[in-house]
Amino acid sequence: MEALRIITEEHQNLWRIATTLDMVADEIDAGGKVEVPFFSSVFDYIEQFMDRAHHAKEDAFLFPALRRRSPEAAAMLDRLQVEHANGPEVLLDLRARLGATAGGGESNAAFTAALRNYTLAIKNHIRSEEKDAMPLAREVLSRDDWAGIDRAFLDNDDPLFGAKARAEFRELFHRIASLAPESIGLGARSAGELQPGAGPAGGDVLLSVNGMESCYGRIKALKGISLEVRKGELVALVGANGAGKTTFLRTLSGVQPMSAGRIVFDGEDISGLRADLRMRRGICQSPEGRQVFGPLSIEDNLRLGAYTQPKAQVEGDLEKIFGMFPILKEKRALPAGTLSGGQQQMLAIGRALMGRPKMLLLDEPSMGLAPLLVEEVFNVVKTLKAQGMTILLVEQNAFAALAIADRGYVLETGSVTLTGTGQALISNEQVRAAYLGM
Ligand SMILES: Nc1ncnc2c1ncn2[C@@H]1O[C@H](COP(=O)(O)OP(=O)(O)O)[C@@H](O)[C@H]1O
Ligand SMILES: [Mg+2]
């Protein structure tokens, strides 16, 4: 049933886009401008991602199996497939209206009304699939059905929805998040690029933590944590507020004392090493709550992230970060404190990357962000992973983190209670009940 996890992940993503469009419509109704590049990038993304890939996959693999096993579902599936088939045409109409509105031939209000109809249709469609079609699929499809469907959904070489196509979707999404108005996106004038990578090197253990304990006074916040991260892996550490996630990351990077346990990084026992020396070894953290230096300029914040690095490479690395996040370049001379929350999160990630991490630690990067930027943060994390980066991602947003992670650990009041592949944890009943609200 791996296919259902993928579909739900894509639904979440599309829902965030629809919510974002609603928010932009509100802003336009309140007197805001209709930004053509932004809407064009949204429509491009929807066309590529939703109409050509997401719906195509459902139509080709999931729905035919459902029709075979459950003839009484025909009416519902007919309706859903008609909506799929109409998608491109509705989008063409919206593009035409966007053109007319930009050219002054149609009022902004007419455009936002059409936009709202569209997002409502998207949301209703998603709801119906999640509430009607997918539960039915869980119930009636056989093991063999799922084997075939899952194989198709996981085919990495497929030109429509394989790894390469997914990288293109990420790039298109990145455009949207970059160009979206600052109230809900990054508010940049240009989009920049998330360069695709060579793919993870993969294999050897990079980090091995054994029996880590840490205390605040007499209270033991970490009660013997053991965890492993391999090169090129994306590992998620999830758990409720107060579980000890931040304490774990701080103890790992050496800013919080470890009272028992052992940390081996890249073959070296670093348990007794100072924080700055751990950073030199390649452990770089984007801390909880971003913690950018408000009065310092954006550029200086980024340079601070490179203080352990040879001077010769800093300018080049700076340009790479600016290439990923053009808004940081546009605002490079301004104090970091003037940035929005989403922009600050990109700055915090950029600052960590300036340290040329061998392992990147991210502490709740999606916390407090607008829906579009939550998706964009995970988009960036996926791209970094595709480039071969080893990542330890700490999140309360368990579903989103586990959905992109190779493996995950569930932390409860200072102890690891469950571990497994991201997918196994998402389908684990205990995890679903405790963290996913499902
Ligand atoms: N500076 C501190 N002083 C005392 N107790 C703390 C401090 N920071 C965190 N704690 C406690 O340690 C536990 C773990 O906190 P934390 O690592 O911040 O959890 P998480 O990041 O998972 O929300 C909590 O019970 C919290 O109250
Ligand atoms: Mg925390």
Summarize pLDDT for 169-189 with one digit per residue, the tens. 899 999 999 999 998 999 999
Instruction: Count CB neighbours of 85 within 10 A.
Output: 12
Ligand 1 is surrounded, with C-beta below 6 A, by 216, 221, 239, 241-247
Q: Whose CA is nearest to atom 14 of ligand 1?
A: 244
- Which residue, chain included where needed, has tokens 């989103």? 400
Q: Quick one: which atom of ligand 1 is closest to the CA of 244?
A: 17
Tokens of 369: 């962000």
Q: Quick one: which atom of ligand 1 is closest to the CA of 243?
A: 22
At residue 78 the predicted structure's pLDDT band, cuts being 50, 70 and 90, is very high
Cβ-count burial of 45 within 10 angstroms (0-12 exposed, 13-18 middle, 19+ buried)?
Answer: buried
Query: Could you tell me the strand order of the sheet in which 205-216 lies?
Result: 219-230, 205-216, 260-265, 268-269
Report the alpha-carbon distance of residue 190 to residue 211 in Å, rounded: 47
Q: Say how many Å lie between the CA of residue 254 and the centre of ligand 1.
A: 16
Over 70: is that where the pLDDT of 437 sits? no
Report the alpha-carbon distance of residue 163 to residue 6 in Å, rounded: 13
Over 80: is that where the pLDDT of 161 sits? no
pTM for the structure as a whole: 0.90
Instruction: Count CB neighbours of 335 within 10 A.
Output: 16
Report the alpha-carbon distance of residue 17 to residue 42 in Å, rounded: 8
Instruction: Count CB neighbours of 403 within 10 A.
Output: 21
Closest-approaching ligand to the CA atom of 238 = 1
Q: Say how many Å lie between the CA of residue 184 and the centre of ligand 2.
A: 24
Q: Which residues keep their CB under 5 angstroms from ion ligand 2?
A: 245-246, 288
At residue 356 the predicted structure's pLDDT band, cuts being 50, 70 and 90, is very high
Q: What are phi and psi of 31, to 5 degrees?
A: 110, 0
Closest CA to 96 of 110, 82, 83: 110
Q: Quick one: which atom of ligand 1 is closest to the CA of 288?
A: 21
Using DSSP's 3-state secondary structure scheme, residue 23 falls into helix
Summarize pLDDT for 102-115 with one digit per residue, the tens. 999 999 999 999 99
Name the helix (H) or strand (E) containing 211: strand 205-216
Summarize pLDDT for 365-400 with one digit per residue, the tens. 999 999 999 999 999 999 999 999 999 999 988 988
Report the alpha-carbon distance of residue 150 to residue 186 in Å, rounded: 35
Q: Quick one: which atom of ligand 1 is closest to the CA of 219?
A: 5
Closest-approaching ligand to the CA atom of 240 = 1
Domains along the sequence of the chain with CATH: 2-179 (1.20.120.520), 205-436 (3.40.50.300)
Question: What was the pLDDT predicted at 197?
Answer: 67
Name the helix (H) or strand (E) containing 255: none
Q: Say how many Å lie between the CA of residue 242 and the centre of ligand 1.
A: 5
